[in-house]
Amino acid sequence: MRPRRLMNQINVVPYVDVMLVLLVIFMVTAPLVTTGVIDLPSVNKSAQVPVAPLEVIIRTDSSLTLRERSGGQRGGGGGQTQERRVSTAELVAALRDKQARNPDQPVVIAADKDVRYEAVLKVMDELQKAGIRRVGLLVKAASR
């Protein structure tokens, strides 16, 4: 009787058989899978004219000025501009009144570059306490 030789290789034929069966299964089922139809919303031109923001200007002497642009367009195109000096209490009352009439109207704080940031934070704190929403900071665009 001959001694049996030890086999040092892995038999891969069963693995190839399994892979071929899986390939056939995927090829048969792939056309049967239905793709979901996605109805994407269309983007139309906005019917609303963007509201010009109310500007709170903080000067170097920490005085406050409220600037309102009428005419509806952002960027000051064609509307009238009204500026008036106000105290903090008058500012809060005016902004509450404006946002009660138009809750989507943003408020931007424009401070001179020499104003201490403490004054800006004080105004922001007062507006937050008063419940004024949509408050932002106005910055000058950097020139290239």
CB atoms < 10 A from the CB of 37, how many?
5
Per-domain residue ranges of the chain:
54-137
Separation CA 109–CA 54 (nearest Å)? 9
pLDDT tens-digit series, residues 30-47? 888 777 777 777 777 666
Q: What is the CATH number assigned to the segment(s) 54-137? A: 3.30.420.270
What dihedral do alpha carbons 6, 10, 15, 17 form, nearest 10°? -50
pTM exceeding the 0.75 threshold for the entire prediction = no
Q: Which amino acid is at 69?
A: R
Mean pLDDT of 18-40: 86
